[in-house]
Amino acid sequence: MPAFPATAPRLGLYPVVDSPDWIARLLEAGVRTIQLRIKDQPEAIAEPAIAQAIALAQRYDARLFINDYWALAIKHRAYGVHLGQEDLDIADLDRIRQAGLRLGISTHDDAELDRALAIQPSYIALGHIFPTQTKAMPSAPQGLEQLKQHLARLTDIPTVAIGGISIARAPGVLATGVGSIAVVSAITQAEDWRAATATLLALTEGDGQAC
């Protein structure tokens, strides 16, 4: 199976948000890797938001990954797609690859890592690192030690940590050598999202080069 196109070796700060409004704010604040994560909407409802988000990101030359809606991501020429293990069962990976989109895949244990590595995606996400209120997780948090063990297998591919990463926990996560921290509530639930974003950008400074 051919590899998916490369992304930046270190994706830096990677906010995961649910609307083009959030994407516009974060682009303006200097974020260059973002995911649009709209859950469980009919395609007709999700499509205008996806098209708007992709157009915004293109204006800033930013890396926008579309969660789940891979066909709409192809249609509107997104930078990339993010898929979980269940999404992999139904997505047409050949179509995503042939369209030239990058692909990120979620993993939570060694078996899922084996499956993801065989697909040769653009990055691999590892979660959830800490308890999270944002999504009901069937497994236990993996913690920093397990994250380090997983990273040891992933020396040749960009990596992203996700799940319960707060500003306080971010330095410990980054110290594992992971290339990116994906966050939802650390930004969207912050009292001051601008300040939170600036702090997280500073912590990941130097990461997120072009590609």
Ligand X SMILES: Cc1nc(C(=O)O)sc1CCOP(=O)(O)O
Ligand Y SMILES: Cc1ncc(COP(=O)(O)OP(=O)(O)O)c(N)n1
Please state whether 20 falls in left (phi above 0), alpha (psi between -120 and 50) or beta: alpha
HEC sequence for the chain: CCCCCCCCCCCEEEEEECCHHHHHHHHHCCCCEEEECCCCCCHHHHHHHHHHHHHHHHHCCCEEEEECCHHHHHHCCCCEEEECHHHHHHCCHHHHHHCCCEEEEEECCHHHHHHHHHHCCCEEEECCCCCCCCCCCCCCCCHHHHHHHHHHCCCCCCEEEECCCCCCCHHHHHCCCCCEEEECHHHHCCCCHHHHHHHHHHHCCCCCCCC
Q: To the nearest whole angstrom, how small is the minimum distance from the Cβ of residue 85 to ligand Y?
A: 6
Residue type, 65: F
Q: Examine residue 146 and tell whether it contacts ligand X (CB under 6 A).
A: no
Q: Is 87 annotated as a binding residue?
A: yes
Residue holding tokens 């500073």?
202
- Which range of residues in 2-10, 87-95, 162-170, 193-201 is near ligand X by CB under 6 A? 162-170
Give the per-residue contact string, 172-201, with ligand X (x = CB under 6 A; - = no).
Answer: -----------xxxx---------------
Residue 121 touches ligand X, criterion: CB under 6 A: no
Q: Cβ of residue 180: shortest distance to ligand Y, in angstroms? A: 8
Is 150 a binding residue for ligand X by CB under 6 A? The answer is no
Judged by CB under 6 A, the residue of 77, 95, 115, 135 near ligand X is: 135
Partner in contact with 11, chosen from ligand Y, ligand X, Mg ion, none, beta carbon below 5 to 8 Å by kind: none
Tell whether residue 124 is a contact of ligand X (CB under 6 A). no
* Total number of residues that touch ligand X (CB under 6 A): 15
Our CB check for ligand Y shows the closer of 74 and 106 to be: 106
106 assigned to a ligand binding site: yes
35 binds ligand X (CB under 6 A): no
Q: Give the CA diameter of the chain.
A: 45
Nearer to ligand Y, 163 or 196 (CB): 163
Say whether 64 counts as a known binding-site residue. Answer: no
Annotated binding-site residue numbers for Mg(2+)? 68, 87
Annotated binding-site residue numbers? 35-39, 67-68, 87, 106, 132-135, 164, 184-185
